[in-house]
Chains A and B, each alone.
Chain A
Amino acid sequence: MGLCQQPAKKLVTHTELVDRSQEERLYSMANYDLTPEQEMLRRTVRDFAEAEIKPVRAQLDEKEEFSYDLVKKMGELGLFGMTVSPEYGGQGVDYLTYCIAVEELARVDGCQAATVAAENSLGIGPLYNFGNEHQKRKFLPDLCSGKKLWGFGLTEADAGSDAQNSKTRAELKNGKWVINGSKIFITNSASKITAGITVQAVTGAGSEGRKEISCIIVESGTPGFTAKEMHRKLTWRSSNTGELYFDNVTVPEENLLGPRGGGFKQMMTTLDSGRLGIAAMGLGGAQGAFEAALDYAKQRKAFGKPISQFQVNAFKLADCALEIEAARNLLYKACWLKDQGRPFGKEAAMAKLYTSEVFHRVANHCVQLHGGYGLMEEYPAAKFYRDQKLLEIGEGTSEIQRIVISRYLGC
C-alpha cells in the first residue's frame, strides 16, 4: 500500500490508497488482490455468519423456520441492495464484493445466503434495473435496508425452464391490469415482510407466434393476491419459498415494469446477473462442506490414525481444494467482467454451472468422509448435501446452463 513511504503527520485517506492500488492494477496483467474493503467485508460477513447464523442454522432448518431476526441483522450489515446506488438506499458496491458476501453466508448456511442472493438479484434487481423513478423511490429504500422483502414471480407449476409456456395472464381493462394465474417456488415472496412481487405475465400476442410477456408490480395485500409459504422442502428449508395465486388481481396500469412486452428480455438480463449470486452460493457451500470434511477427517481415527492420512481420503480432499480454487477463479473472473462493463453471460453461466457441480461433488465427499455420521443431522455434512441440490436446479438448471454456454459457442 505504500503507507510507510508517507512523511510523518501527512493524512492519507483510504480513497487515496484504493485509488493508488487501482492505478497499479492497470499495469499488471492479472491481479488477484482484493481491495481492503472487500477483505474487510469478507471478514465481517464470516464473523457474522459464524457468530449469529451457525448457532441457529440447524434448528431453523429442522423447523423450516424463516428467521426475521437474521434478516434484520443482515439488513443492518448492509447485505441487501448491495449493488444499488446509495441514492436509493443501496450500498453501491460492485458484483465481486456482493458475491464475496454471498459466498461467506453460504459457507455457513445456504438458506440465509439464499435470502440475500435472491433478494439482491431477483427481488431488488428488476425494480432497480427496469423500474421508473417513481417505482424505485417508492420501493427500493425499504428493500435495501432489509425492512421489506420482494419476490420475482417467474416459475409456474407447468413452466420452469420453458418460461415461454407461462399461463399467468394480465389483461389491460379500463386502465388497469387484471391478473389471473399462479406462480410457484418463489423465494422471499410469502414472508410477513414481503412488500410485493414482480410477476411475469402474458399480456398479449407478440410477433412470430411468440407470446407478449411483461412484468407487473403487485404489492402484498392487493385483493385477490395470495402468497402461501411452501413447506416440506428437501433443501433450503429455512429460506422463504412461496406459492402465489392471482385471482382477478387488479393493479393500476403504471405498475407495469419497463416497456410492455419487455418481460422476457428483463428476465434474461436478471438471470444473467443472478447466476453470479447463485454461483457464489455454490462456491461458499463447497468451501463450507470442504472445511467440515477436512476438520472431521483430521480428527476421526481409524486403524490407529486420522482418516485424512489414508491416501484414498487425502486425494478426495485434494480434489475438493483444487476444484474450489478453480471455481473461485472462474466466478471472480465472471464478476470482474461484469464490473468492467464487458460481456459476461457465458462466464456467468459457466460459473453457475461449475460451482454448483463442484458443490455437489464436495458435499458428496463430505458425507462419505463422515461415514455414518454424515447421514445424521448432528453434523453439518447432511445439510450441505441437501442444500447443494437446489443449485443444480434453481435459476436455470444445469442443463439450461449447458444450453446457454453451447449457444455462445455457436452450436
Chain B
Amino acid sequence: MKIACLIKQVPDTETRIRIKPDRSGIEESDIKYIVSPYCEFAVEEALRVKEKAGGGEATVISLGPDRVVEAIRTALAMGIDKGIHIDSEGKSFDSYATAVVLANVLRDRGFDMILCGKQAIDGDNGQVGPMIAELLDIPQVMIIERLELTADKKGVTATRRVAGGGKEVYEISFPALFGCEKGLNVPRYASLPGIMKAKTKPIEKLKSSDLLNGALPLVQWANYQLPPERMAGKKIEGDLAYQAHELVRLLREEAKVI
C-alpha cells in the first residue's frame, strides 16, 4: 500500500498577522510556522492505515519555500517514511496552481491513497484536494471523520458528516483522495526516537517550475487587509417582552440577518 500525505506549513494560530506595506501579502519575517492541524490528521491517518494494513509506504509531500522542510521533517519524525519537497522558488501559488503541481508529482507514482487536510488554516480555501482528484481523475471524499480499510485492503469505507446530523458513508476503491476533518484521530507526538530516525530518511527535492506545465495561477492578490475590529456588543435592557421585541427588530433592521 502506497500512501501520500499532502501537508501545508501555515502561520501558528497565535501569530499576530501584519500586512505588508504594499498590501501584497502578509509579513512573513517573524512568523512561527506550524503544520496545518488538518494536515496533521492526514499524517496520523496515513500512519494508522499503514499500521492496520501491516505494511506499506507513506510519503509526505509539501510545496513551499525551504522552510517547509521543517514541516516535512516533523511528519518524518512522526513516522512517515519519506518526503518530497517541491520548492516554490519564491513564487505565490493559488489553489489551482498548487493542485496542478501536486497532481503532476502524484501522477504515475502509483499511490493507492492520497490524504490531505479538509483545508489549510491560512487561506481556508479547501480547494486543493478536490482539484487534485479532478486533475488525476480519481474519486475524492472531503471532510471525512472516519476511515476504515476494507478487508481486501483495496479500498476504504469513508464517513463524512452532513448538515442536519446525518452521515454519508462511501465505499471507495483505490486510488482515491481523502480530506481529513477534526475528530478523525488524535495526531501522535514526534517522539525522540522518531526524531532521531527521521535524520536518515530521504527527502526528494523537486522544483515547482518543472511541474507547472505552463499552468498559471488563476488568482491574483491585489489588496490584503485585516478583518475589521470586532464592534462592541449591544446590551438590551428592559422587561422580557421588550427585550425580545427589540432583539428581533435589531436583527432585522440593523444586522439584517432575518
Report which A residues bind B (CB closer than 8 A).
Answer: 1, 3-4, 6-15, 18, 36-37, 39-41, 43-44, 47-48, 76-79, 82, 91-93, 101
Contact = CB atoms under 8 A, between A and B. Distances in A.
A11 B203 contact: yes
Nearest to A35: B199
B202 A12 contact: yes
Given A14-B200, A37-B195, A1 B73 contact: no
Contacts of A48: 189
Given A3-B66, A8-B206, A8-B210, A40 B77 contact: yes
A36 B193 CA distance: 14
Contacts of B203: 3, 11-14
Interface of B: 66, 69-70, 73-74, 76-77, 85, 87, 189-196, 198-207, 210
B72 to A, nearest CB: 10
B199 A4 contact: no
A193 B88 CA distance: 51
Contacts of B66: 1, 3-4
Given A14-B199, A15-B199, A78 B204 contact: no
B191 to A, nearest CB: 5
Given A8-B207, A14-B73, A44-B191, 19 more contacts: A1-B69, A3-B203, A3-B205, A6-B205, A7-B205, A8-B210, A12-B205, A13-B202, A14-B198, A14-B200, A14-B201, A14-B203, A41-B195, A44-B190, A44-B192, A78-B194, A91-B192, A92-B196, A101-B192
A9 B205 contact: yes
Given A77-B192, A93-B192, A40 B73 contact: yes
Contacts of B189: 44, 47-48, 77
A9 B193 contact: no
B202 A11 contact: yes
A40 B190 contact: yes
A8 B196 contact: no
Contacts of A8: 205-207, 210
A37 B196 contact: yes
Contacts of A15: 199-200
A13 B201 CA distance: 6
A91 B189 CA distance: 16
Most buried by B among A12, A14, A93: A14
Contacts of A77: 189, 191-192
Contacts of B201: 13-14
Contacts of B74: 40, 43
A254 B85 CA distance: 55
Given A4-B87, A8-B206, A40 B200 contact: no
Contacts of A13: 199-203
Contact of B70 (A7, A12, A36, A47): A36
Contacts of B190: 40, 44
A78 B193 contact: yes
A255 to B, nearest CB: 30
B195 A40 contact: yes
Most buried by A among B70, B189, B200: B189
21 contacts: A4-B66, A8-B206, A8-B207, A11-B202, A12-B203, A13-B202, A14-B76, A14-B198, A15-B200, A18-B199, A37-B195, A37-B199, A39-B70, A40-B190, A43-B74, A44-B77, A76-B191, A77-B192, A79-B192, A91-B192, A93-B192
Contacts of B210: 8
Contacts of A76: 191
A323 to B, nearest CB: 23
Nearest to B188: A76
A15 B201 CA distance: 8
A358 B192 CA distance: 29
A9 B202 CA distance: 11
Contact of A36 (B73, B85, B87, B200): B73
Contacts of A18: 199
A91 B206 contact: no
B243 to A, nearest CB: 30
A298 B171 CA distance: 53
B85 A78 contact: no
Contacts of B194: 78
Most buried by A among B191, B195, B207: B195
Contacts of B193: 78, 91
Contacts of A14: 73, 76, 198-201, 203
Nearest to B86: A8
A78 B192 contact: yes
Contacts of B198: 14, 37
A12 B199 CA distance: 10
A212 B76 CA distance: 51
A105 B192 CA distance: 14
Contact of B85 (A3, A43, A101): A3
Contacts of A43: 74
A366 B154 CA distance: 58
Contacts of B207: 8
A410 B70 CA distance: 47
B212 to A, nearest CB: 14
Contacts of A37: 195-196, 198-199
